C-alpha cells in the first residue's frame, strides 16, 4: 500500500490572520511536488504543519492512513532542509552526515556505508574530511541535503533551500536535487517563490495565494493552461487586457484595442460574463517589421502597429517592449530572428495576436 500524504481541510490561524485556509491536497508516495507562491501566501506555514513544527487550527494531516496532527516532529520520520545550511562547523562533512545515524545507534560499519553512498550520490566523496567553512555554499547545501537523507526519512521537506545561493549554483544544485529524488524514489515537498525552480524540477506544482490553493497541476499545464488570472500573472510573463465581450471580440477598456478571440478560448469563461480579462504570452505574439510581411489570411482585427521602446537581450530570447495605443506590450522572439530582421529601438513594427493563443478569465 502506498504511503501517501493527505491534507484534509487544513487551516492555520495566527490570532486574526488566516495563513492557510481549508487546504485539501494529496501527495503520492515518490512524488516531487513544489509549493509555489509569493511571500506570505502560506506555503512555508503548510510545510511547517507537515513537519510538525506548527499545529493546525483545524483539519487533518494524514500519512500512511493515520492522522498525525499530534505526532511530534521527531516521531514523524520526515527529513527537512532549510535555507540556512545548519551544519555543525566543528564537525567534518562525514561527521555531519553521520550525526543522525549515531543518534539512532546504527552500527559503525553501516554508518560508514551509508555516508559513503550518500556523498557519492552528490559527488562529495573526496570532501568528507573537510569542515563546512572550507566548502562553497553549494557544497554545504549538498551536505545538508544528504545529512537529512541519512536516516532514511519517508518524506523530505525542503524550505527554499537554494535562495541564498548564486544563480548558476542554484541551477546546478536543483538538478542535483532532482537526480537524488529520482534515484532514491523518495517523496519530496519543496517550497519556493522561484517559478523557474518549481517548473523545472517538480512532478506537480501547487500555486498558492493568500492561504488558498489557486491551482495544482503538472508544470507544463500550470504555464500553458492557468486556471486563474493570478496564476497566469505569477507564473511566467503575460500581457493583460480587460474589456467587454461583443460576440467573439473583446475591446480593452483602457486603450480601446479590439481583439478577436477564438471561441474555444471564450468557452472557458461563463457566458453570463460581459467583462473579462484576457492575456497572451510574449512568445505567442508574432513580430513583423512592416505590413508587407503579414500573411493575407491573418485576422486583420488582431494586427496592431507599435513602436519598439526597449530591447532586452536574454540569451536565446530577445525581449522587446512595444508601445501600442499607449500600452506597453511585451514580445519575445529568438535572438536569431531578431538579428535577421535587424529590429532596433524606435522602429515601427506590426504585432499579430493569434486568436487561439489568448487566455480568458472572468472578473
Q: What is the pLDDT of residues 67-98, one digit of tens each?
A: 999 999 999 999 999 888 889 999 999 999 99
**Structure confidence at residue 83 (pLDDT):** 81
Global pTM value: 0.91
Q: What is the mean pLDDT of the chain?
A: 92
Largest CA distance in the chain: 77
Among 3.40.50.12280, 3.40.109.10, 3.40.50.300, 3.50.50.60, what is the CATH number of 5-230?
A: 3.40.50.300
Identical fold between 5-230 and 237-362: no
> Strands 317-324, 17-27: parallel, antiparallel or unpaired by DSSP?
unpaired
**Structure confidence at residue 63 (pLDDT):** 96
Structural domain boundaries of the chain? 5-230, 237-362
Q: Which of 295, 308, 306 is nearest to 350 (CA)?
A: 306
CATH class of this structure's domain 237-362: mainly beta
**Structure confidence at residue 162 (pLDDT):** 87
Mean pLDDT of 299-310: 92
Q: If you search the block for the grid coordinates 509569493, which residue do you land on?
A: 38
Confidence of residue 291 (pLDDT cuts 50, 70, 90): low
Mean pLDDT of 167-179: 89
Burial (CB count within 10 angstroms: exposed 0-12, middle 13-18, buried 19+), residue 15: exposed
Q: What is the pLDDT of residues 4-59, one digit of tens each?
A: 999 999 999 999 999 999 999 999 999 999 999 999 999 999 999 999 999 999 99
Amino acid at each position: 500500500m502506498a504511503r501517501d500524504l493527505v491534507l484534509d481541510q487544513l487551516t492555520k490561524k495566527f490570532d486574526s490572520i488566516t495563513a492557510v485556509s481549508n487546504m485539501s491536497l494529496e501527495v503520492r508516495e515518490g512524488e516531487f511536488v513544489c509549493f509555489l507562491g509569493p511571500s506570505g501566501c502560506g506555503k512555508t506555514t503548510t510545510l511547517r504543519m507537515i513537519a510538525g513544527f506548527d499545529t493546525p487550527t483545524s483539519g487533518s494531516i494524514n500519512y500512511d492512513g493515520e492522522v498525525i496532527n499530534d505526532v511530534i516532529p521527531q516521531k514523524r520520520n520526515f527529513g527537512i532542509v532549510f535555507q540556512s545550511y545548519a551544519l555543525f562547523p566543528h564537525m567534518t562533512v562525514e561527521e555531519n552526515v553521520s550525526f543522525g545515524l549515531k543518534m539512532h545507534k546504527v552500527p559503525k560499519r553501516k554508518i560508514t556505508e551509508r555516508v559513503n553512498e550518500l556523498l557519492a550520490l552528490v559527488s562529495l566523496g573526496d570532501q568528507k574530511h573537510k569542515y563546512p567553512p572550507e566548502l562553497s555554499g553549494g557544497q554545504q547545501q549538498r551536505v545538508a541535503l544528504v545529512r537529512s537523507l541519512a536516516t532514511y526519512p519517508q518524506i523530505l521537506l525542503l524550505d527554499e533551500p537554494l535562495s541564498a545561493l548564486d544563480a548558476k549554483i542554484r541551477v546546478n544544485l536543483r538538478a542535483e536535487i532532482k537526480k537524488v529524488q529520482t534515484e532514491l524514489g523518495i517523496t519530496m515537498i519543496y517550497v519556493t517563490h522561484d517559478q523557474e525552480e518549481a517548473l523545472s524540477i517538480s512532478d506537480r506544482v501547487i500555486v498558492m495565494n493568500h492561504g488558498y490553493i489557486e491551482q495544482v497541476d503538472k508544470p507544463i499545464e500550470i504555464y500553458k493552461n492557468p486556471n486563474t488570472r493570478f496564476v497566469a500573472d505569477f507564473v511566467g510573463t503575460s500581457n493583460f487586457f480587460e474589456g467587454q465581450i461583443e460576440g467573439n471580440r473583446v475591446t480593452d477598456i483602457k486603450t480601446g484595442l479590439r481583439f478577436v478571440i477564438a471561441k474555444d478560448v471564450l468557452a472557458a469563461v461563463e457566458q453570463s460574463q460581459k467583462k473579462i480579462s484576457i492575456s497572451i504570452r510574449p512568445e505567442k505574439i508574432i513580430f513583423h517589421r512592416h505590413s508587407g510581411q503579414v500573411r493575407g489570411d491573418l485576422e486583420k482585427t488582431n494586427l496592431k502597429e507599435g513602436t519598439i521602446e526597449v530591447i532586452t537581450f536574454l540569451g536565446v530570447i530577445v525581449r522587446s517592449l512595444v508601445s501600442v495605443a499607449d500600452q506597453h506590450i511585451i514580445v519575445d522572439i529568438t535572438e536569431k530572428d531578431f538579428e535577421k530582421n535587424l529590429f532596433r529601438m524606435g522602429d515601427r513594427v506590426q504585432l499579430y495576436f493569434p486568436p487561439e493563443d489568448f487566455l480568458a478569465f472572468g472578473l
